[in-house]
Amino acid sequence: MLIITLLSLFLYLHVSIMLGITSILFAFSLSTYKIYTKHVESEHARTKILKEVGVMVLTLVIILFLGGIAAMLANAQVSVRWGEVAGILSAIGASFGVGYIVRVGVGRFGR
């Protein structure tokens, strides 16, 4: 999916934006379904589902915010031609970093 996004960025810019939005919504719906099926038969299922979906939404908001800032700063440091690539790569790096920090934090909080 990442290779297709990078290729479409160079070929068709408007398609890459739609592909990005579609992939984010698809990943969000799959994650929500997985959380629901994991906790549906457990005790206090509604609380557990809401907690995990809330953490996922909060993580997504933080990733989008920090990824946008990282992309903007990277774009300002390089030329206009390579700014899009540097912005995407820095946004991906920020998303992995925030995802790891949230995973470690939620793991410690859940104990």
Vertex 13: Cα angle to 86 and 63 (nearest 5): 50
pLDDT value of residue 61: 81
pLDDT value of residue 38: 85
Percent of the chain with pLDDT over 70: 66
Tell me the pLDDT tens digit for each residue of 42-85: 888 888 888 888 888 887 787 777 777 776 776 666 666 666 67
Q: Where exactly are the structural domains of the chain?
A: 31-109
pLDDT value of residue 110: 55
Q: What is the value of pTM for the model shown?
A: 0.58
- Is-contact 52 39, C-beta < 8 A? yes
